[in-house]
Structure 1
Amino acid sequence: MIEIKDLHKSYKVGKNSLHVLKGINFSVKEGELVSIMGSSGSGKSTLLNILGILDEADQGTYHLDGVPIKNLNEKIAANYRNKFLGFIFQSFNLINYKSAIDNVALPLIYQGMGRKDRMERSMAYLEKVGLADWAKHKPNELSGGQKQRVAIARALASDPKVLLADELTGALDTKTSYEIMDLIQGINDEGKTILVVTHEEDIAHMTKRIVNLKDGIIIDDSMNEQVKAIQNV
C-alpha cells in the first residue's frame, strides 16, 4: 500500500540546510495498523507530510497503492489526497459553524456526490462512530472525544485507502484517548490501513506495529510484542 525507498528531505534554515529525513526505507501493507513514534525534531511530522502528499522529498521514491507520488501539480496532488487518504488531526479541524453531519460530508462535496447521497453516507458514518444522535450539533456543543469521532467519521466518509492520524489523542484525556484508540482498532479490524503518528508510548502500544524515528532515521521497526504474543498462542 505504501512503499518508500531512500527518502531524504532537507529544509533551508537561513544560510544553512537542515537534513530532516536521512534515507528512510519504509513500507506498509494493506490492512496494517502502524504507529510512527518520535520526539520533537525526529522527523515524524515531515514524514507524515510526505505521506500525506503535503510535501515532497528531495530524494527517494514514494509509491501509494502502486502510484508513484512525484512532481505532482497541486490539482493532481489534491485529487490524490481526496482519492487515497483520510486525515485525522489533533486539533480536529472541524468547521465551527457547520453541524457534525455537514462536517462529515465535506470531502464528499469534492468528490461530486449529490446532497442526498452525501447526507445518507455521512449519517451512516456518524452512526459508525456512535454519534448519530449528535448529527445536528455544532462542534462547540461537543466534547473533545465527540469532536474526534466526528473527525474520524469525516476521514472515513470518502472511503480512503489509508487513514493518517496525526497525534489524534493529543488533546484528549487518558480515558477518552483509549476509547478513540478502541474505535481506531475496530476500524482497522475491518481492513482499513491506518498510520498513527504519536509521541505517547501507551497509544503506540495499541497499534500492531511500532516504527521509531530519531534524528531522521528509523532506529526500530517491530511488531507490537502484545500482538506477537497473541499470534503465537
Structure 2
Amino acid sequence: MITIKDLHKSYKMGSNSLHVLKGINFDVAQGEMVSIMGSSGSGKSTLLNILGMLDEADEGSYHLDGKPIKKLNEKIAARYRNEFLGFIFQSFNLINYKTALDNVSMPLYYQGMKRKERTERAHHYLEKVGLADWAGHLPNEMSGGQKQRVAIARALASDPKVLLADEPTGALDTKTSYEVMELIQQINDEGKTILVVTHEDDIAHMTKRIVNLKDGIIIDDSVVTQIRATEARQRAYENV
C-alpha cells in the first residue's frame, strides 16, 4: 500500500540547511496497523506530512497504492488526498459552526457527491462510531472523545485506502484514549490500513508494528504483540 525508498528531506534555516529525513526506507502492506514514534525533532511529523501529500521529499520515492507521489500540482494532490487518505488529528479539526453531520459530509461535498447521498453516508458513519443521536449537535456540545469520533467518521466517509492518525489521543484522558483506540482497532480489523503517529508507548502497543525514528533515521522497526484497547479500557475503569 505504501512504499518509501531512500527518502530525504531538508529545510533551509537561514544560510544553513537542516537535514530532517536521512534516507528513510519504509513499507506498509494493505491492512497493517503501524505506529510511528520518535521524540521532538526525530522527523516523524515531516514523514507524516510527506505521507499525507502536504509536503514533498527532496530525494527518494513514495508510492501509494502503486501510484508515484512526486511533483504533483495542488489540484492533483488534493484529489489524491481525497481519494486515498483519511486524516485524524489531535485537535480534531472540526468546523465549530457545523453540526456533526455536516462535518462528516464535508469531504463528500468536495468529491461532488449529491446532497442526499452524502447525508446518508454521513449518517451511516456517525452510526458506525456510535454517534447517530448526535448528528445535529455542534462540536462545542460534545466531549473530547465524541469530537474525535466525529473526526474518525469524517475520515472514513470518503472510504480512503489509508488512515493517517496524528496523535489521535493526545488531547484525551486515558480512558477516553482507549475508547478511541478501541474504535480505531475495530476499523483496522475490518481491513483498513492505519498509521498512527504517537509519543505514547501504551498507544503504540495497541498497533501491530512500531517504527521508531531518531534524528531522521529509522532505528527500529518491530512487529509487536498488540494490546487490545478493550482490555486496557476495562483495566483503567477497574483502577478508578
Aligned position for 1:206: 206
Query: What amino acid does structure 1 have at the position aligned with 2:78?
Result: A
The aligned counterpart of 2:80 is: 80
Alignment correspondent of 1:71? 71
Q: Structure 1: which amino acid aligns with 2:117?
A: D
Partners of 2:108 and 2:160 lie apart in 1 by 11
RMSD: 0.7
Letter in 2 for 1:199: H
1:45 paired residue number: 45
Q: Distance in 2 between matches of 1:42 and 1:2?
A: 20
Amino acid aligned to 2:60: G
Q: What amino acid maps onto 1:118 in structure 2? A: R
Tell me the matched-pair count.
227
Q: Secondary structure at the match of 1:124?
A: helix
Task: Map 1:143-222; keep pairs closer than 5 Å.
Answer: 143-222=143-222
Residue 226 of structure 1: how far off its partner (Å): 4.4
TM-score where L is the length of structure 2:
0.94
Q: Who is 2:4 aligned against? A: 4
Residue identity matched to 2:71: N
Amino acid at match of 1:34: V
Identity %: 84
Q: Deviations over 1:68-117 (max 9, x none)?
A: 00010000000000000000000000000000000000000011110010
Higher alpha-carbon deviation: 218-227 or 50-59: 218-227
Per-residue CA deviation, residues 148-190 of structure 1 (Å, 9 max, x unaligned), is 0000000000000000000000000000000000000000000
Q: 1:8 to 1:103 in 2, by over 3 A?
A: same
Q: State the SS of the aligned residue for 1:225.
A: coil
Matched, 1:115 2:115: yes
- What's the secondary structure of 1:186's corresponding residue? helix
Structure 1, unaligned stretches of length 5 or more? Answer: 228-233
1:14, CA displacement in angstroms?
A: 1.1
Give the AA of the match of 2:85.
L
Cα distance in structure 1, aligned partners of 2:7 and 2:178: 33
Runs of 4+ in structure 1 off by over 6 angstroms are none
Partner of 1:97: 97
TM-score by length of 1: 0.97
Structure 1 position 225, deviation (Å): 3.3
Tell me the amino acid that sits aligned with residue 201 of structure 2: E
CA distance in 2, matches of 1:141, 1:224: 38
Secondary structure of the 2:123 match is helix
Aligned to 2:21: 21
Match of 2:233 in 1: none
Q: Which letter does structure 1 place at the counterpart of 2:110? A: Y
